[in-house]
Structure 1
């Protein structure tokens, strides 16, 4: 695909963005997909209508990208917690007068708050309280957030599941996690493996993010209920999107209309 053809900019890195890319290619719409890592790049199929760029688009690089590419519209299918790229994309859409559509991963039905299920607004709220004190805690919150928990290493027993990459392991070790309290696995994680891990480490509390079905949130809910383990869910960042949808067909219709 040449950079001279008009394109959709698809902010990817999620399983849903792969589905969107495939759907756009079927419609013969040229699409440039941006992802953060080479591993994410490998998720997308080979197609003359798809091009995948690896690396963060920040500051001048983002503006050079938009100035040099004939982008017609932006589809933001990034992770629900990738708030920085969404915020930058919304600002760029306004600056360059580009149509923007957020694909928002569906949320799970709300559960009533009780002693075993708690939702908190953000990490700051979680760490300001004593939720973790004296607990054997499994963190499934992404390696970038592990340094936030370093002050709690002496007040609780912290374990973490992280991605199997050199960088994620290095960050975890620097945040005070010993190697015997880390497990490196790439999602999706089966319910059987998830449950076995919790039981192996004798976990009493799990902290996860409201990442929806695709992020394994529902599996954690079920296992926590079955084992009687406390589950704390970090809510998604509050972002005001110009427009959003959770329907693939609406994304395709938007791209066809704006292309």
Structure 2
């Protein structure tokens, strides 16, 4: 039986899986964390595979699971996964579709500063003497290690052992961390900023699903800057921001 390879781990990928099940389309979902399994419907049509895959493991998955097409609904900043999936789609001559979260646009919000990369942020003077809330994921935290003496850094991370361990290794103390699973409400995000007396928020431009609109609203309410790191540039063969287009793609 032909199957869709759904590269998941996001809430949007869970919505895609639900739609595929509703249309009786079998799929193999790959996620990197055990906790992500709970996102997906309990169905005989879905197989969820947990753990980071090497290129060889991806090739084996395509061959052994009779993959017919690839739907890439990974996180907007999971560049390596997307690039590997694109290369494999070309290698095996499989149709590929990227589901991309819609961008959040608020041109009137003067609190927002958009930068092209973490490198630009780290090498600039944006963080000096600021009380900074980082909502950028644990993988980015080591890049801020050199700033612990020049700024007061706090981080909101996922409630996982790995996230906490990586944050502590990056120089954050327990008092500088809070572990919460998104979505985080406006009230909670605002209260957290007030509790820590945050003067600057740093986040990724990860769309509404990533809480970008909430952070913009909090920054505006507290009259503090929000720095957004722009999404990486990836050349996708084809992409969409509409779930119905993904279903149509699977039925082509």
Shorter-chain TM-score bucket reads over 0.9
Q: Determine whether 1:155 maps to 2:147.
A: no
| 1:83 and 1:237 in contact (8 A); partners too | yes
| 1:136 and 1:158 in contact (8 A); partners too | yes
The answer for the alignment partner of 2:209 in structure 1 is 214
Q: Determine whether 1:248 maps to 2:247.
A: no
The answer for the alignment partner of 1:19 in structure 2 is 15
Q: 1:48 aligns with which of 36, 44, 58?
A: 44
CA distance in 1, matches of 2:195, 2:74: 33
Q: Would you say how many aligned residue pairs link Structure 1 and Structure 2?
A: 252
Q: 2:99 aligns with which of 92, 98, 103?
A: 103
Shift in Å, 1:67: 2.1
Runs (5+) with no aligned partner, structure 2: none
CA distance in 1, matches of 2:109, 2:101: 22
CA distance in 1, matches of 2:212, 2:127: 19
The Cα offsets for residues 83-103 of structure 1, whole Å up to 9 and x where unpaired, read as 110010001101110000000
Q: Which runs of 4+ in 1 moved over 4 A?
A: none
Shift in Å, 1:111: 2.4
In the TM superposition, 1:69-80 aligns within 5 A as 69-80=65-76
CA distance in 1, matches of 2:87, 2:71: 13
In the TM superposition, 1:173-188 aligns within 5 A as 173-188=168-183
Shift in Å, 1:112: 5.5
CA distance in 1, matches of 2:70, 2:53: 14
SS of aligned partner of 2:39: coil
Q: 2:116 aligns with which of 116, 121, 127?
A: 121
TM-score (norm 2): 0.98
The answer for the alignment partner of 1:238 in structure 2 is 233
The answer for the alignment partner of 1:164 in structure 2 is 159
Q: 2:84 aligns with which of 83, 88, 93?
A: 88
In the TM superposition, 1:59-70 aligns within 5 A as 59-70=55-66
The answer for the alignment partner of 2:195 in structure 1 is 200
| 2:109 and 2:220 in contact (8 A); partners too | no
CA distance in 2, matches of 1:236, 1:11: 18
Q: 1:229 aligns with which of 202, 221, 224?
A: 224
CA distance in 2, matches of 1:111, 1:132: 23
| 1:113 and 1:119 in contact (8 A); partners too | no
CA RMSD in angstroms, aligned pairs only: 1.0
The Cα offsets for residues 171-217 of structure 1, whole Å up to 9 and x where unpaired, read as 11111101101001111111111000000000000000001111100
TM-score (norm 1): 0.95
